[in-house]
Amino acid sequence: MYLSNREMMIKELQNAVALYPDYQVRVTGHSLGGALATIAAMDIHDNLGIENVHTITFASPRVGNHDFAQQWNDRLAESSMRFVHENDIVPHIPFPQLGYEHVGYEMWETQGEVKACSVISEDFSCSWAIPSDEWRVQDHFTYLNVQLHGCNAFNESSVLEY
């Protein structure tokens, strides 16, 4: 999926960086889009040589193995945020037991507040502390009080709310 759009994205990004060399490049996405944003950020940083890459993901699943996560964190963790809402199931998959590991710092939205987690990758004092029997699909569809329109299978009449 990423590779099918990569060439166009890189061309447009190179044009934008040429016009605005002092601007930050921000890569963002929700769910699968968050996983793709993670891959894109590393690609942009490593293969285009753009140092000023910032990544913000919402509900991203784990993307790569330990080596990928370590390389990503060495390059991009300080300029990234990975949001998890309450007990969202998606950020907990695929499982670490299969060799997958999160990248960056988690920002855990819980009980109406956002907690900045202090450990890169898996912080056991944040969402990873939630037992698997408490993970919820419905928490996947609201982030930072924004209900994602058209995504909520539990409420067909949902609308985008701020």
Q: Are strands 80-85 and 53-58 parallel, antiparallel or unpaired?
A: parallel
Active-site residue identified among 30, 45, 92, 140: 140
Model pLDDT, residue 152: 45
Model pLDDT, residue 161: 36
H/E segment holding residue 74: helix 66-76
Domain, as residue range, for 89: 2-147
Q: Does residue 160 lie within any of the structural domains?
A: no
Model pLDDT, residue 119: 85
Evaluate whether 88 touches 140 at the Cβ level (below 8 Å). yes
Active-site residue identified among 30, 31, 79, 123: 31
Q: Does residue 159 lie within any of the structural domains?
A: no
For the question of residue 121 being annotated catalytic, the response is no
Model pLDDT, residue 82: 97
For the question of residue 46 being annotated catalytic, the response is no
Q: Which residues is 109 bridged to in the sheet?
A: 85, 114
Assign residue 21 the CATH number of its domain: 3.40.50.1820
Model pLDDT, residue 156: 40
Number of domains in the chain: 1
Whole-model pTM: value is: 0.88
State how far the Cα of 140 lies from the Cα of 135, in Å rounded to an integer.
10
Active-site residue identified among 30, 60, 88, 127: 88
Model pLDDT, residue 153: 44
Q: Does residue 157 lie within any of the structural domains?
A: no
Model pLDDT, residue 150: 56
Q: Does residue 132 lie within any of the structural domains?
A: yes
Model pLDDT, residue 149: 66
Q: Does residue 162 lie within any of the structural domains?
A: no
Q: Does residue 65 lie within any of the structural domains?
A: yes
Model pLDDT, residue 118: 87
Average pLDDT across each block of 10 residues of the chain; the chain has 162 residues. List them in order: 92 94 94 97 95 96 96 96 97 96 96 92 91 96 85 41 33
Q: Does residue 155 lie within any of the structural domains?
A: no
Segment 52-84, tens digit of pLDDT: 999 999 999 999 999 999 999 999 999 999 999
